């Protein structure tokens, strides 16, 4: 990575994605001369200007990787203020600090900024239209960064994220299956499961490859597509489990959770621009799932 990024601050230190960056640090970043400062919320509350200012004074980052976010998609329908504070106010505060200090900013967003009606792989400039409180809060965060225009900014949208050190769909499925409970999983929402380690590695590779004068939005996910039901079936195949698993429609799911968030029925990303920039393809989602099992359980 360029010496321009020799001082790296990673926020959201208690979560899955920051954990992936921390693991990459152990596996190779230090060999490249990188030793990021990883800040948990107690160290840096991204929605608090004073907390962010104090952290920037201490670390003097040339690169900020913002992994802090509110990610409880369904609960966000009730906890709208908490989601807004973390996902909209936080990016705005960080962007202001990055502009003031000349710091490059990497921020992660989501496929939930789309409404899911466009039935082809989604490009960064496609129209947005979030249908949930979570999606709206994440879109506001994107817009705040673009309005502030820090020195360099990169918004990386990702989807269906899972990995160690946090609650995720894979672990939920395994927990329910091992408890011997029946599973009914939605089979009419299509997307791309994404392993945190692959997202973190692609982020660093993008930073290596991008011209220092550019900013923009990138779509980063594991390659290929599946439904939540087929994702669950793949999980059980990889782990050698055979629970009572059956498909259900979104309408059937909403009948049991009327207060749940509306999710995009289709949110597969067009990765062509990202893969050209990386000079390599993103790993297929099924291979990434297998790698997660190996990395986490062996």
Give residue 258's Cα distance to chain centre: 26
Give residue 119's Cα distance to chain centre: 22
- Token pair, residue 249, equals 């429609």
3-state secondary structure 276-294: HHHCCCCCEHHHHHHHHHH
Q: Are 76 and 86 in contact (CB under 8 A)?
A: no
Angle, alpha carbons 129-149-212 (nearest 5°): 110
Convert 96-122 to b/e letters by CB count within 10 Å (16 or more is b).
Answer: bbbbebebbbbbbbbbbbbbbebeebb
Q: Using N-to-C axis directions, what is the helix angle for 228-239 and 285-297, rounded to 10°?
A: 40
In whole angstroms, give the CA distance from residue 147 to residue 32: 33
195 is catalytic: no
Among residues 70, 134, 154, 162, which one is catalytic? Answer: 134
- Token pair, residue 287, equals 């291979």
Contacts of 82 (CB under 8 A, 6+ apart): 70, 76
Convert 255-277 to b/e letters by CB count within 10 Å (16 or more is b).
Answer: eeeeeebbbbbbbbbebeebeee
In whole angstroms, give the CA distance from residue 64 to residue 45: 14
- Residues labelled catalytic: 134
């Amino acid at each position: 990575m360029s010496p321009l990024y020799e001082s790296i601050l990673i926020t959201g230190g208690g979560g899955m994605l920051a954990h992936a960056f921390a693991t990459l640090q152990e596996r190779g970043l230090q060999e490249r001369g990188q030793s990021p400062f990883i800040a948990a919320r107690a160290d840096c509350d991204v929605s608090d200007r004073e907390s962010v200012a104090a952290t920037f004074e201490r670390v003097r980052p040339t690169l900020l990787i913002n992994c802090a976010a509110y990610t409880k998609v369904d609960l966000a329908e009730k906890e709208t203020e908490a989601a807004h504070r973390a996902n909209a106010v936080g990016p705005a505060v960080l962007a202001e600090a990055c502009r003031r200090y000349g710091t490059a900013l990497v921020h992660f967003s989501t496929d939930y900024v789309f409404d899911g009606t466009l039935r082809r792989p989604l490009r960064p400039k496609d129209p947005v239209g979030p249908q949930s409180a979570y999606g709206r809060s994440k879109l506001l965060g994107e817009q705040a960064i673009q309005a502030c225009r820090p020195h360099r900014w990169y918004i990386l949208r990702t989807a269906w994220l899972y990995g160690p050190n946090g609650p995720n769909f894979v672990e939920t499925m395994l927990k329910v299956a091992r408890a011997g409970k029946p599973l009914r999983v939605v089979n009419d929402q299509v997307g791309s499961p994404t392993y945190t380690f692959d997202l973190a590695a692609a982020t660093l590779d993008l930073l290596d490859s991008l011209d220092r004068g550019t900013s923009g939005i990138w779509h980063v996910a594991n390659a290929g597509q599946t439904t939540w039901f087929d994702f669950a079936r793949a999980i059980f195949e990889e782990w050698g489990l055979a629970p009572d698993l059956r498909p259900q429609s979104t309408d059937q799911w909403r009948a049991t959770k009327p207060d749940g968030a509306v999710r995009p029925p289709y949110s597969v990303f067009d990765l062509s621009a990202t893969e050209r920039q990386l000079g390599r393809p993103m790993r297929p989602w099924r291979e990434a799932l297998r790698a997660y099992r190996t990395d986490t359980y062996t």
